[in-house]
Amino acid sequence: MACTCVETVNEKLKERNTRLTQAIVFSPRKDDCLMLVTEQIETGRGKPKAVAMFLTYCPFCGVAYDG
């Protein structure tokens, strides 16, 4: 990653026994990436499912990730 925001945020979250989720992706892309997990608002038959997003820019400082 091009910045250290994930490490900085994880250090601050450590006191609350929490950390950001990073995914291992099996693809031509070689680096780790940050995965943003979403929550489904309405449940039930025919409702769209929640998705996970793989970020290409840091959500904290806006720097583009390498790769």
Question: Is the pLDDT at 44 greater than 70, yes or no?
Answer: yes
Reported confidence tier of residue 15, pLDDT bands at 50, 70, 90: very high
What pTM value is reported for the model? Answer: 0.65
* DSSP result, the chain: --SSHHHHHHHHHGGGT----EE---SS--S-EEEEE---SS-STTPPPP-EEE-SB-TTT-PBPP-
Q: Could you give the CA distance from residue 9 to residue 18 in angstroms, rounded to a whole number?
A: 10
Question: Is the pLDDT at 19 greater than 80, yes or no?
Answer: yes
Contact 18, 37 (CB under 8 A): no
Question: Is the pLDDT at 52 greater than 90, yes or no?
Answer: no
Question: Is the pLDDT at 36 greater than 90, yes or no?
Answer: no
Mean pLDDT of the chain: 83
Percent of the chain with pLDDT over 90: 22
